[in-house]
Amino acid sequence: MFIVVGRAQSGLTAHRLNDDGSAAGDPERVGDLGAFVRSVETFPASEVRWVWDDTARWYPRLLEAGLRVARCHDLRLCHAILRDSARVNAPVEGGAGAWSSAEQADDASGAGDEALFDLGDDVGRDDLATDRLTETVDELRRQLAAITSADEPGGLRLLLAAESAGALIAAEMRFAGLPWSSAVHDTALTELLGPRVGPGVRPQRMEVLASAIRATLEDPLLNPDSPQDVLRALRRTGAMVDSTRAWELRELDHPVVPPLLEYKKLSRLLAANGWAWMDAWVRDGRFRAEYLPGGVVTGRWAARGGGVLQLPKQVRSAVRADPGWKLVVADAAQLEPRVLAGLSGDTAMASAGHGVDMYAGIVAAGAVDTRQHAKIAMLGAMYGATSGESARLMPRLARAYPRAIAYVETAARAGERGEVVTSRLGRSSPRPGEGWLKTQRQASDPDATPADERRARSSARDWGRFTRNFVVQSSAAEWALCWMAELRGALAAIPRTDASLGLAGTGFADAPHLVYFLHDEVIVHTPEEHADRVAAILEESARRAGRLLFGEFPVDFPLGIGVVDHYGEAKG
């Protein structure tokens, strides 16, 4: 059962549809969406799938009203997948074009939009003159037809369900927030940088280092924050460097290197996660970032606000469970290699992963000599290394695991020809842009110069590396989405500790819930008494995700799990 919600001329309206998209009644005017959802939804077990244009526009309001929904179909996210998927034979087309545009996504971040919930005063305004509900229902039907037309529609259905579940999770994680101790954060900053300073003022520890740098380079006016200044000064002392990147400085035997590296480290900490960051992003003990499901072409999430996907290890100890609560931190061990084994049906590679450490399994199988070599070779296979140790080790991997390596090589060759590649469940890579095609055409012109040919070959290989990685990264993102969707469902089924607490309706104040997601890693914030159960649920969800993607193919997805008081304790 679908319930499509949207605006109509008469106001906020809901329309029930059967699973095939046919009407299951007439559209009904809804006065108050919260009350309507409350009357219908039976979270966490529900037969209803809510359909709306954009989860980020609708769901936060429901959460604030103390409501959660079990399932949804996010038309914006699903449209993007169906539009590009090579498995779809009857493309999603028609509509006002809004489904393809970025405007929807931009809209989504806008907090306002009272009109969604109460349209009374807005009827008659130009932008509301169109019947949006009808268009929304039409779009759902177009999408259902596209799915039906697809090769392997089951995979695509799973992908769309998982993507939509991800949209719910993203909104819920923002609503719940990541538990953050400003006191711990401030102590860490003060220890490293010196006492707190205002914006534009260099903290004491950095000031000391800046003086040392200036003295060593005999340049009293040098600004250590200016790469140009520093590079010039280094060159003046005869240092052979092309940049001031840390890795290059480390190679250099020069007395300025230690204080300079230390300065750069502290400068980065201050700029990226210093006191200004704390003031901007931490409120009431929670860090609330905005997650953007489908924000990366591979299906990985993007994010904005506070750099939540780059949280440095230095400050992770500030991520603290509330008193009486625990953080259960879990990451999938060697997710991408395991996904590659599943994608390619490489049973030898899959059995190397039967233990917790797949790289150790590869060494045990005799493919390479050390764990480090196994890791480097595998990264080279998935990223398309062309030089260095990684490229040298790769052939050994190809001998031991020909099916797996052939799989990524095939994806690379397809990309070099400008073709599209597709993930396990049906997300396809974008087509190369006009500039890329033009470069290729120029190279096949009879008058093409060797430079034209070189440029074309180089950009073809670049795109091949992208498609090579796409098949693995996008399928790994699908595994992670399935993992989280299973996890969310199982967590919601845990009996509540004390339903009399505040926010009882949503369970974020008294029950285990997701607070963090980073590609192959999650954090669940849970009352202490449920921590072990949460850990077991995480494992079971990982097993289920593996079966959803790869059926009975014997590839394992073991987790590293830690039950901790703060994120810094979890091994990263």
| List of residues contacting DNA (CB under 7 A) | 223, 225-229, 231, 243-247, 250-251, 264-265, 268, 271-272, 292, 295-298, 300, 302-307, 309-313, 331, 335, 376, 379-380, 383-391, 462, 465-466, 469, 473, 518-521, 572
The least CB distance from residue 235 to DNA, in Å, is 12
With beta carbons less than 8 A apart as the criterion, state whether 168 and 72 touch. yes
With beta carbons less than 8 A apart as the criterion, state whether 394 and 381 touch. yes
User: 275 Cβ partners below 8 Å, 6+ apart?
Assistant: 186, 189, 196, 197
With beta carbons less than 8 A apart as the criterion, state whether 393 and 352 touch. no
The torsion angles phi and psi of 9, rounded to 5 degrees, stand at: -60, -30
CA distance 320 to 178: 9
Q: Which is nearer to DNA, 309 or 509 (CB)?
A: 309
The least CB distance from residue 203 to DNA, in Å, is 13
Burial of 435 (0-12, 13-18, 19+ CB in 10 A): exposed
Q: Which is nearer to DNA, 2 or 287 (CB)?
A: 287
The least CB distance from residue 20 to DNA, in Å, is 35
Going by their DSSP bridges, the two strands 49-52 and 2-8 should be labelled as: parallel
With beta carbons less than 8 A apart as the criterion, state whether 469 and 421 touch. no
The least CB distance from residue 336 to DNA, in Å, is 9
Going by their DSSP bridges, the two strands 286-287 and 178-179 should be labelled as: antiparallel
CA distance 214 to 388: 36
The least CB distance from residue 486 to DNA, in Å, is 19
The least CB distance from residue 547 to DNA, in Å, is 22
Closest Cα to residue 379, out of 320, 335, 317, 420? 335
The least CB distance from residue 461 to DNA, in Å, is 8
Q: Which is nearer to DNA, 199 or 238 (CB)?
A: 199
How many residues make up the chain in this entry? 572
The least CB distance from residue 266 to DNA, in Å, is 9
Q: Which is nearer to DNA, 71 or 468 (CB)?
A: 468
* Residue 121 per-residue DSSP state: G
The least CB distance from residue 569 to DNA, in Å, is 14
Q: Which is nearer to DNA, 2 or 281 (CB)?
A: 281
With beta carbons less than 8 A apart as the criterion, state whether 129 and 38 touch. no
Q: Which is nearer to DNA, 95 or 560 (CB)?
A: 560
User: Can you read off the two tokens belonging to residue 274?
Assistant: 């210093």
Q: Which is nearer to DNA, 43 or 436 (CB)?
A: 436
Q: Which is nearer to DNA, 133 or 559 (CB)?
A: 559
Closest Cα to residue 279, out of 180, 188, 378? 180
Q: Which is nearer to DNA, 6 or 432 (CB)?
A: 432
Strands (E), 48-166: 49-52, 72-74
User: 551 Cβ partners below 8 Å, 6+ apart?
Assistant: none
